[in-house]
């Protein structure tokens, strides 16, 4: 056995434990009974950990560590994603800073630059994951651009292409004019913007009932250059007379038809809807139904193409102003309304996306949707919390063909080859340099695949598929996917589609969706806002265990949670996090309690734990309950409840009570056998508690456990020691002991609370009367000596009866169905105490009124610094709490 230093040094000890684990190779895939395989959602190769990553990885590590201790074969797969747009953007900026562009150096050299970038910055997030204590198998790392992974991606494309599931077509896509690529619907971010609804007059080619023009309403007047029709609702019978007529499109002098279509909302605008099939997906669909021409008026940078006179070369914004000015100048601007609407933006840059007609590659999803839907409706794949099941199913029901091509250079290049001479084309597993049909020159498609196309294979392409499918046996389907709700559609659904297609099985059994971590004020964390929290800063300030434990407490059924970190508004540096500070206090509590136990083991001889006293029976029974709660909680992904149970047991039951119960037996002069059994019980309970705490707080528990006395054949490290199985500990369950000691704890707490409220010294012996139901009288009487020694009281236990009279001048408390009366007569001047409390109450009420008046002042709230407002709110809460306490005291005094 060893001893612990007086203070817990998180930074030093965490590094020592990391070195121990890495040297022991405990993270590697281990043989065992059953399987727990988890794939880490691949973060961007050049990224850094954010709070979402930290929560995600903590949840996974907790799950994996418990299963490893249970003797289950565990495999936690590490990997990163090449992040096409993100990485290309970073490298583009780096080149720009050097005064060059990718167009100048060419595709080959640009890809080399991307590889250089990933090698230089790609290891950061891996080291951060390691620093968190995540027991990932670092010897089994994967990257979506690795040769074996690239082969898997290519096979999926070629197989789907030859099976008729991948096709090339000209359709509307979300185009980012800054990034120069298509963006999927799921990657687009909607932003509410203040705009206008312009009402424009389109002249009829022939008057209708004396009317010479119609009025269309639009939020994008610039796209009218590409209008090829005007639509009305078939339900709007007032406009029936216009159907079949034509208008002369202003500026363009293009005659276009008026038709009816059920898509049109008769109540929007004027009821006449301009139709631009090349610049709106709904207009595209109407154009298909009514055979309209599709005219693309923008180039890839969202500037008007040639052939549009003064408007050619203008940006979208410039064209909008010019078109509106033209309509106004020609008397065709009817009126303008203020209008708030949602605008799609690129998720990688601030640009508004342009619905743009272009030729792209698509996955036809109709054959994939059925099996992927069945996987969830059958219960084979379960969502936690369950409510996300409907999100998945709704998205799957409305799924459209998936645009998988991106106009980038960094990524998996589409493996389709074209003959420049005879027109041959095919998707091929190997590069083709000569046409197999005519021997002519062949070139490869310029586009790359959407990043999500490659990451959809993550659970099986990281485990040997397609060359070594035997490696999947026993490890696929994987156990659980832990991820954010934002990518249920982007990633989760696509993983299910690809896995059910290529392996005829689901990719994972459970999908664990964690809450989105928001800033303290409820806004999204972001670098641009300066309100993001770096997990590494939290670790530096509080230690990894404290950060991990606090994060687990946030795993509730909530959709969003606010992180309580205070950020310096000027430097954007972390000031502190009260909840993480509280978690660090828990780490310290664990350390100090363990130090006490280790410091009281003189003469210790190993031996079994025994329920020698009611207090022993109580703690052993509570330990059995904890093992059940923690094990089932992790199995069902209720990590917040797990954290709560661990904290309640160790801090309250073990530290505050059981150690106190044991102190008398550990003192010098105590019976040797009683002392030895107390030592054995303390070591046993501490050992089991550390094992149960370990998945959540690996560092401090490992450091303590290696100092505990244990058998020579015990595991070399806590992380590979045996888990306290609920079935094994069930023998300690003792409801009677729990009920009895709960009454002891409640009674002692009631006495201590009364002493604190009325300023009575702990050395002052008190008279206490406990009125109990007959069913509890014997159990409480049996613990009379224990209560009297711990609370320094003279206890009288009486059975409940109609003749019972409350002792005069006593403070009452309800404890486990019993009434406990602390007799204060002669110790407290009731009249003086009432006067003192009344005076204090009046002052607090006045202070509270001032504070509430200040907080209700909108001028103060809007102008004061956030910390000043927070200070006033804290004062309000403090005053309110004190008033509640005084009200209780006055009630007790009568």
Distant-in-sequence, close-in-space partners of 379: CB < 8 Å, separation ≥ 6: none
- pLDDT of 123 reads 85
pLDDT classification of 1: cutoffs 50, 70, 90: low
Instruction: Note whether 397 and 353 are within 8 A (CB).
Output: no
Burial of 602 from C-beta contacts in 10 A (0-12 / 13-18 / 19+): exposed
DSSP, res 352: B
Side-chain half-sphere exposure of 843, counting CA atoms within 13 A:
7
Average pLDDT, the chain: 93
633-665 as b/e: b if 16+ CB within 10 A: bbeebbbbbbbbbbbebbeebbbebbbebbeeb
What is the arithmetic mean of pLDDT over 490-509? 97
Per-residue pLDDT tens over the stretch 566-592 = 998 888 899 999 999 999 999 999 999
Q: Cα 398 from chain centroid?
A: 25
Angle at 777 between CA 771 and CA 780, to 5 degrees: 95
pTM, to two decimals: 0.86
**pLDDT at residue 157, rounded to an integer:** 98
Assign 739 a pLDDT band (cuts: 50, 70, 90): very high
Please choose, from the candidates 65, 47, 69, the residue with its C-alpha nearest in 3D space to the C-alpha of residue 57.
65
What pLDDT is recorded for position 802? Answer: 87
Handedness of CA 860, 866, 872, 876 (dihedral sign): positive
In Å, how far are 241, 273, 274, 284 from 266, measured between CA atoms? 15, 9, 13, 19
- pLDDT given for residue 214 in this prediction: 96
Comparing CA positions, the residue from 559, 558, 566 lying closest to residue 521 is: 566
- Which pLDDT does position 121 carry in this prediction? 86
Per cent of the chain over pLDDT 70 is 99
Res 887 pLDDT > 90 = no
The encoded tokens of residue 184 equal 């999927």
Per-residue confidence (pLDDT) for residue 724, from 0 to 100: 97
Q: What integer pLDDT is reported at residue 186 of this predicted model?
A: 66
pLDDT for 842 equals 92
* CA Rg value for the chain: 35
Positive or negative: CA dihedral 27, 33, 39, 40: negative
Instruction: Please state, in angstroms and rounded to a whole number, the distance separating the CA atoms of residues 376 and 390.
Output: 10
Please spell the DSSP secondary structure of 38-74, one letter per residue. Answer: EEPP--BTT----HHHHHHHHHHHHHHHHHHHTT-EE
Q: Round to whole Å and give the CA distance between 594 and 591.
A: 5
Q: How many CB atoms lie within 10 A of CB 490?
A: 20
pLDDT of residue 722 exceeding 90:
yes
Does 184 score more than 80 pLDDT?
no
pLDDT of residue 885: 75
CA dihedral 882, 885, 887, 891 (to 10 degrees): -160
Specify the 3-state DSSP secondary structure of 137.
Answer: coil
Structure confidence at residue 188 (pLDDT): 77
Residue-level pLDDT at 523: 86
Q: What is the largest CA-CA distance in the chain?
A: 114
Categorize the per-residue pLDDT at 527 as very low, low, confident or very high, splitting at 50, 70 and 90: confident
Counting every residue, how long is the chain? Answer: 894
The distance of Cα 619 from the centroid of its chain, to the nearest Å, equals: 35
Residues 6+ apart with CB under 8 A from 735: 621
One-letter-per-residue 3-state SS of 654-720 = HHHHHHHHHHHHHCCCCCHHHHHHHHHHHHHHHHHHHHHHCCCCHHHHHHHHCCCCCCCCCCCCHHH
Least confident of 482-491, 680-689, 805-814: 805-814
Q: What is the pLDDT of residues 333-374, one digit of tens each?
A: 999 998 887 888 887 778 889 998 999 999 999 999 999 999
When mean pLDDT is compared across 36-50, 176-190, 724-738, the lowest value belongs to: 176-190
pLDDT of 894 reads 67
**Per-residue pLDDT tens for 150-179?**
999 999 999 999 999 999 999 888 899 988
What letter does residue 722 receive in the DSSP assignment?
A: P
**pLDDT at residue 260 tops 90:** yes
Is 882 known to sit in a ligand binding site?
no
Give the end-to-end CA distance of the chain in Å, rounded to a whole number.
56
Of 197, 198, 192, 196, the C-alpha closest to 343 is 192
Q: Cα dist. 746→619, 765, 813, 817 in Å? A: 15, 18, 9, 10
Q: What is the mean pLDDT of residues 277-288?
A: 93
pLDDT digits (tens, 9 = 90+) for 548-562: 999 999 998 888 999
Reduced to 3 states (helix: H, G, I; strand: E, B; else coil), residue 795 is: strand
pLDDT at 259 over 80: yes
CA distances from 497 to 134, 169, 267, 453, 507 (A): 29, 22, 39, 11, 9
pLDDT for 458 equals: 97
Q: Which of 219-233, 446-460, 631-645, 742-756 has the lowest mean pLDDT?
A: 742-756
Go through the domains of the chain in sequence order and give each one's CATH number. 189-345 (3.90.740.10), 578-732 (1.10.730.10), 738-823 (3.30.2320), 830-893 (1.10.287)
Categorize the per-residue pLDDT at 466 as very low, low, confident or very high, splitting at 50, 70 and 90.
very high
For the stretch 297-345, pLDDT in tens is 999 999 999 999 999 999 999 999 999 999 999 999 999 998 887 888 8
Alpha helices in 856-865 (DSSP H): 858-863
């Amino acid at each position: 056995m060893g001893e612990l230093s007086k203070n817990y040094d998180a930074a030093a000890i965490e590094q020592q434990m990391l070195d121990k684990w890495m040297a022991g190779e405990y993270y590697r895939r281990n043989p065992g009974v059953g399987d727990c395989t988890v794939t880490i959602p691949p973060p961007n190769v050049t990224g850094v950990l954010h709070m979402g990553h930290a929560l995600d990885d903590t949840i996974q590590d907790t799950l994996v560590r418990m299963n490893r201790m249970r003797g289950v074969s565990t495999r936690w797969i590490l990997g990163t994603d090449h992040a096409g747009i993100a990485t290309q953007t970073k490298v583009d900026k780096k080149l720009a800073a050097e005064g060059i562009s990718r167009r100048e150096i060419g595709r080959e050299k640009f890809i080399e630059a991307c590889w250089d970038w990933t090698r230089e910055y790609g290891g950061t997030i891996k080291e951060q994951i390691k620093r968190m204590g995540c027991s990932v198998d670092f010897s089994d790392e994967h990257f979506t651009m690795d040769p074996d992974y690239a082969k898997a991606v290519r096979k999926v494309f070629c197989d789907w292409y030859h099976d008729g599931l991948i096709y090339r077509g000209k359709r509307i896509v979300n185009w980012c004019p800054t990034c120069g690529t298509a963006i999927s619907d799921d990657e687009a971010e909607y932003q509410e913007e203040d705009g206008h609804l312009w009402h424009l007059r389109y002249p009829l080619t022939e008057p209708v009932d004396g009317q010479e023009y119609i009025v269309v309403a639009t939020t994008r007047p610039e796209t009218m250059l590409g209008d090829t029709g005007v639509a009305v609702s078939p339900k709007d019978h007032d406009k029936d007379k216009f159907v079949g007529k034509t208008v002369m499109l202003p500026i363009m002098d293009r005659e276009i038809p008026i038709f009816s279509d059920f898509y049109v909302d008769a109540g929007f605008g004027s009821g006449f809807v301009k139709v631009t099939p090349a610049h709106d997906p709904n207009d595209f669909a109407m154009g298909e139904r009514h055979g309209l021409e599709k005219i693309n008026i923008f180039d890839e940078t969202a500037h008007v193409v040639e052939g549009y006179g003064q408007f050619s070369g203008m940006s979208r914004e410039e064209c909008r102003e010019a078109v509106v000015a033209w309509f106004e100048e020609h008397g065709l601007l009817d009126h303008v309304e203020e209008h708030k609407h949602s605008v799609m933006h690129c998720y990688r840059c601030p640009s508004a996306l342009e619905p743009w007609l272009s030729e792209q590659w698509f996955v036809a999803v109709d054959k994939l949707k059925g099996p992927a839907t069945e996987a969830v409706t059958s219960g084979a794949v379960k969502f936690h919390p369950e409510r996300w099941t409907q999100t998945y199913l709704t998205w799957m029901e409305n799924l459209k063909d998936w645009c998988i091509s991106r106009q980038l250079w960094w990524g998996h290049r589409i493996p389709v080859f074209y003959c420049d001479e005879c027109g041959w084309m095919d998707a091929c597993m190997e590069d083709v340099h000569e046409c197999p049909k005519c021997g002519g020159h062949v070139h490869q498609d310029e586009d790359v695949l959407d990043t999500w196309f490659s990451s959809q294979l993550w659970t099986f392409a990281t485990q040997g598929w397609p060359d070594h499918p035997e490696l999947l046996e026993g490890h696929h389907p994987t156990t659980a996917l832990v991820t954010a709700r934002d990518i249920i559609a982007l990633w989760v659904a696509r993983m299910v589609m690809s896995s059910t297609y290529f392996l005829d099985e689901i990719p994972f059994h459970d999908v664990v969706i964690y809450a989105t971590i928001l800033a303290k004020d409820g806004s999204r964390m972001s670098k641009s806002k300066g309100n993001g929290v770096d997990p590494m800063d939290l670790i530096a300030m509080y230690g990894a265990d404290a950060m991990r434990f606090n994060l687990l407490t946030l795993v509730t059924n909530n959709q969003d949670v606010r992180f309580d970190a205070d950020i310096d508004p000027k430097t954007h540096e972390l000031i502190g996090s009260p909840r993480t500070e509280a978690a660090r206090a828990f780490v310290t509590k664990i350390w100090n309690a363990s130090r006490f136990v280790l410091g009281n083991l003189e003469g210790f001889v190993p031996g079994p734990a025994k329920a020698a006293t009611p207090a022993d029976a109580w703690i052993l029974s509570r330990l059995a309950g904890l093992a059940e709660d923690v094990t089932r909680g992790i199995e069902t992904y209720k990590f917040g409840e797990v954290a709560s149970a661990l904290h309640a047991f160790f801090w309250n039951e073990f530290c505050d009570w059981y150690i106190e119960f044991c102190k008398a037996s550990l003192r010098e002069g105590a019976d040797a056998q009683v002392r030895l059994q107390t030592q054995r019980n303390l070591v046993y309970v501490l050992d089991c508690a550390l094992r149960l705490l370990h998945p959540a707080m690996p560092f401090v528990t490992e450091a303590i456990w290696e100092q505990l006395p244990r058998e020579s054949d015990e595991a070399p490290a806590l992380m590979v020691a045996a888990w306290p199985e609920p079935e094994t500990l069930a023998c300690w369950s003792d409801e009677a002991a729990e009920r009895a000691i709960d009454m002891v704890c409640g009674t002692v707490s009631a006495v201590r609370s009364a002493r604190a409220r009325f300023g009575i010294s702990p050395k002052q012996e008190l008279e206490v009367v406990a009125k109990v139901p007959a069913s509890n009288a014997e159990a409480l009487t049996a613990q009379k000596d224990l209560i009297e020694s711990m609370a320094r009281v003279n206890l009288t236990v009486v059975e409940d009866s109609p003749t019972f009279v409350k002792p005069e001048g006593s403070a009452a408390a309800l404890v486990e169905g019993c009434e406990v009366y602390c007799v204060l007569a002669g110790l407290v001047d009731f009249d003086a105490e009432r006067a003192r409390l009344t005076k204090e109450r009046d002052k607090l009420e006045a202070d509270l009124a001032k504070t509430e008046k200040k907080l209700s002042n909108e001028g103060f709230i809007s102008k004061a610094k956030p910390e000043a407002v927070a200070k006033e709110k804290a004062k309000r809460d403090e005053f309110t709490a004190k008033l509640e306490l005084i009200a209780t005291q006055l009630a007790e005094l009568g």
